Amino acid sequence: MPKTDSSRLERLTAIITQLQTKRLITSTMLSEKFGVSVRTIYRDIRALEKSGIPIITQEGRGYSIMEGYRLPPIMFTEKEANALITAEQLLSLNKDKSFVYDLKEAINKIRAVLRHDSKDKAELLSSRVFIWERNDQINISNILSSIQIALTNFNPVKLKYISDNESVTQRDVEPFALVTSSKMGWYLIAWCRLRNDFRTFRLDRMQQIDILTGHFEPHKITMQEYYEKYRNF
């Protein structure tokens, strides 16, 4: 196969991946990513449409792919597989058990689409990569997955929360963002309906959470604006 045909095939495959990854993507974004002209992207989109890929064109906004449409799994290169295995080891140190469980389930699904030789190499690498850290139990939580669902669906959450003075309080909050680092557990930034302001809550201090019915209006403040105003960390 001529090099130009090969490079175009790789670009077409990558465009499909981008369409499946993002809700909406513009021709300008695609042209910048692949280093080709916008006109070339137009031709690529037409070629994909002719091949049966259900691409939806939103005039003046960009392209998306029909909801529910999925291609067979795209094969990973050896370097990509190695990067995922290493990421699994790094992220397994996370302080939230629910996150680690969901991560391992996702990685297992990725392993399932690897070629046999890639699976063998991934298993070898997984057994030979170690991330050393003190085995303490500070800031361990088990509710990150539920908080993430509430945050992305704009559901308010009722917290049974242990405050710094060890008293137990009830709070209804509107999840806004999640913050963590290698030295601390997860913190939820949320609009507290009791205080009528943003507050931060440690996930490991949440005794119980209930995702409430209904939705709240998304907060317009950006993370940058939040840090400039509150600077909690």
Q: What is the pTM of this model?
A: 0.55
**3-state SS class at 202:** strand
Give the pLDDT of residue 145: 82
Give the pLDDT of residue 112: 67
> Can you tell me the distance from the alpha carbon of 127 to that of 58, in angstroms, rounded to the nearest whole number?
47
Contact 65, 15 (CB under 8 A): no
Give the pLDDT of residue 217: 94
Ranges of the chain with pLDDT below 50: 1-3, 135, 233
**What is the average pLDDT score of the chain?**
81
